[in-house]
Every structure is written in C-alpha cells, then in structure tokens.
Structure 1
C-alpha cells in the first residue's frame, strides 16, 4: 500500500489531499486513518501514516503561505502636480550622485535601496509604477526610446516647463508621444532604413487593429475614438485638414499639453 500525502488548496481556500481531510480548521479523519492502519502491512506504511497524523493545520497554513506569490504593488495615481514633485526629487538625487542620466532599471533599484531617503524611494516608486510617466520624460529630447533619461528632461518637468498629464489611462498627450516614438523607430520597408515621417487615418486604423504592439495599438485607438484631437494635431502646420500628421506636429502637441 502506498499513501499519497500530496496536499492541494481548493477554490474555497481549504486543504484537500489523499487521504481526504476535514475542513481547513480540522484534522485528518480518524475513521479513515484507522481503516488505513488496519491494512498497513509494513513498518514503512505505518511510518507514513504516523507522519500524516502529525501534520497540523498550522503547518499546512505555513506551507501554503510560503508558496503564495508576492502581491503586486498597486499602481499609484498620477497627476501633473505629482509628476512635478517626484521629478524634482529625482533631479536632487541625480545632482547629489553626479548623474547626468538615469535608466528605468536604476530607478527600480533606487526604489528598493535601503540607503535611499524616503523621498527618493517614493519618487522612484512613482515612475517605476507608472512607466508611461517615465516614457514621456525620457522621450522628451529623443523619441528613440532607450530606457534612459537625462537630468535635463526631469528638470523641465520639475520646473513646470513640461507638464505631464495623468497617465492613469490613455490620453491625448501619451497617445501623441507613443505614435511619434513608433514613427521614428519603425521602418515599414525592409529594403531601407527610412522611418515614417507622417501618418494618416488609414495607418491609424491598421495600427488600432494590430495587437503586436499594445501601446501603439491603444494610441491609435484613442485617436480614432477622438477624431477632434487628431484633427487638432494634423492641422498644426496647415489649417487645411488632410488626415495626415507629421512627427513634428505630434511632438509639438506633446509639449503644449
């Protein structure tokens, strides 16, 4: 006879196994254990049964808790005021540590650094929990997203020269920056290295239906759902709407929002 002592957690949070167990707060069914002991024919089988009855609900709970995944920290709320405040803290940190640039990974490390001040950790948390905020800052001077931002970019936000809207959900500023970045890094023709200088409504429809790049997909969907915003952008250089928006027009819109 072989006794299976594998435990599992039921959908109700109780513990189940084979042999069966009473409710989570109980112990192994004595009647079942007695029946199994009657048929145990070797010292090894009896030893297995002894080990079963010695398992307490507390030890089971500890084992379950140890195997639970760490909770994901909640996404924090964003606002222009919070972006300005936290950018200022990052600027101070970079100055004190003589850093001209800072990467997203370095911000992640800073948020977990026991030697960092509470203000520094909170600021790093803000940008790592809201990567769209960092994206808008790091692509401020160079649309080619590389995960690295200069101190000057953070300084512009801290000084209020570049206001970042809430990125709790897709908005016009984030959508414009996302499309601009896509355009300067995307090469539609594999035979050349030419990127997109402009984008039209047909391109938006294609991007909105392409799940391979979720961020670009969401940005395109935003403009299709808000045609008045897209018209405002595409008529920046020419008041006669033609459905085509350029990279400079998208960049200018990001800066003025």
Structure 2
C-alpha cells in the first residue's frame, strides 16, 4: 500500500499494513485446517460410539440370556405395545405390535441372520452331544429359542429358532433315515445335516398364506386354530403338536389350519405371546382357549429386539442418554462448536431425580 509522502507515515507502520494481506491468507488456511480436523474428529467419534453401542447391545443380550424374564418385567421383550397381530419387520426381529403378515421370511421371527441349514445343524449337534440331548423335538427347540437355560450359547438359540422358522428343513433332517414324521431328530441326524446332507435346502421358505391368498396374521392364524381345536375337543397344545399339525396333519385337516400351525411354529415369539396369555413362564404348553383370545385381538405381541443393522433397543438405559450419545456421534462439536461432555451440543448425562423434581 503506498501513501503520499506528505502524510508522514513511518516506514514500520507501512510494513505492518502491508503484511495484513498475508495474515488474511493465514487465517483462511487455519480455518480450512480446522474444518479438516473437525471432520476427522467427527468420523473418529462416530466410529467410537458405534463400537460402544455394539458392546452395550452385546452386554444386554448376555444379560437377557442370564435373566430371561427381565425383559417382561421391565417393558422389554415381554411388554405389550399395541393391537393384536404381528409387527412388520424384515424377518430378523419382532418390532412394534401390529397386524402384519406372519411366517418364514416375514414378521414375528427371532433374528437368525447368518444361520444356514448346515451351521444351525452343526451348532445343535454339538450342543446335543455336550448336554446329552438325544433326540431333540420341537418342544425343546422352542425352549432353546425363547427361554434357554442360563449359559446357553447365543448361536444355539439362533439355531433352534432357525429350525422352527424352517420346519421343512427340520422335517428333512429328522426323516432322512426314517420316513416317519415323528418330530424327533437324533444327534446323528443333525451331524448328517452339519456335514452338508441338506445343501439343497439353504434358502428361506415362503411365508404361509390363507387359502384366499391373503397374508397370514397372528389373529387369522389363531382364529383358524381356535375353531379347529374346539371342533376336535383339544384342550392343550405344545410345539410338538403344532409341528405334527403343520407337517403331518391328520387326513381331512383344512389347509388353512395346517398353514396356521406352520406360521405360528415358524414364529416362536408369536406362539409365546399366545401361550403366555394366561400364565407367564413360556413352558410351551398352551391352553386352546388362548387361541380364542388371540383370535379376538386380546393377545398382543411383545416389543421388539432390533437387528444389528438397525438401531438397537437397549433396555434399562435412559432414553435421553441414548439420544445424546447418538447426537454426539453425529455432531461432536455441537451447535456452537464447543466439544466436550457438558458443553453446548455435547453429551450430557441425565440429571438424577431428587425430591424437588416431584414438587
């Protein structure tokens, strides 16, 4: 910058003013660097929080396995959430109660993602060998799936649910050496399947439907079975009986009844909701009258357990804490750029209630 000599500007001041352009350029570079640092920190925090959420979900699953009834008491897996019917998910968990279609690859199912016929048979054959279970029946598969003994490996529970969700696969395994469908699969049967005996039956089975082509819901399935049980004088049923009705029904059994049995057999959480409508405990034994209650919309599906690809349902954690954790992962600098546990936009722990909160 040049000034007329008459103004009397000293040489040092001229040098200082001339350097202002350089300072402006440095400020621009600093701002760009800060943006890069912010982006890198956001990515790092997001990755860190995803890891924390995954660990928390794994811990909650372990706690649920050790205390299977906790969810029912705490508004978790056993808490009713809506109207009769099954939640609408992608066949990997339950979800919010509704009146959606039921069956293999549809709603009302336990998460068995990653399981194949061979891997499920391998997990079950090892478990049966270790625990002296021989043979295994749908009753035992149901218990392993929805109410496993403490210490049961998660993959064994998933394998049991997989067999229930795919009764055609279980039937092929249990009848591979004996054509009679008695619902009993021995260790040898499972070992045979674990070694690739059923490689041609890896794909998921289609969901059962009503005879008119409409989707099978929990309410419609329960209605068909309730009418059938009343006609036959049936007082109680269990998964073994449901398996026989689905895979080896008596002559003259209506197709809708067979499909209804298959649908509920393949959706253990739906059957559990019905069989525990009068007595809690998930022992597998259900009064036939419970199906009448479900047919009238009096039985509700429990809340869901989301899949690994969805936001996990973490029971026992303060909702605001989870929202703040997710907000921190997405925007660690907050609305004002301040990074920290208690800063503007940062994660804040929920305030403990005291007596003043109740005034």
TM range, smaller chain: 0.3 to 0.5
Using CA pairs below 8 Å that are at least 6 residues apart, which structure has the higher relative contact order?
Answer: 2
TM-score (norm 2): 0.28
Q: TM-score, normalised by structure 1?
A: 0.38
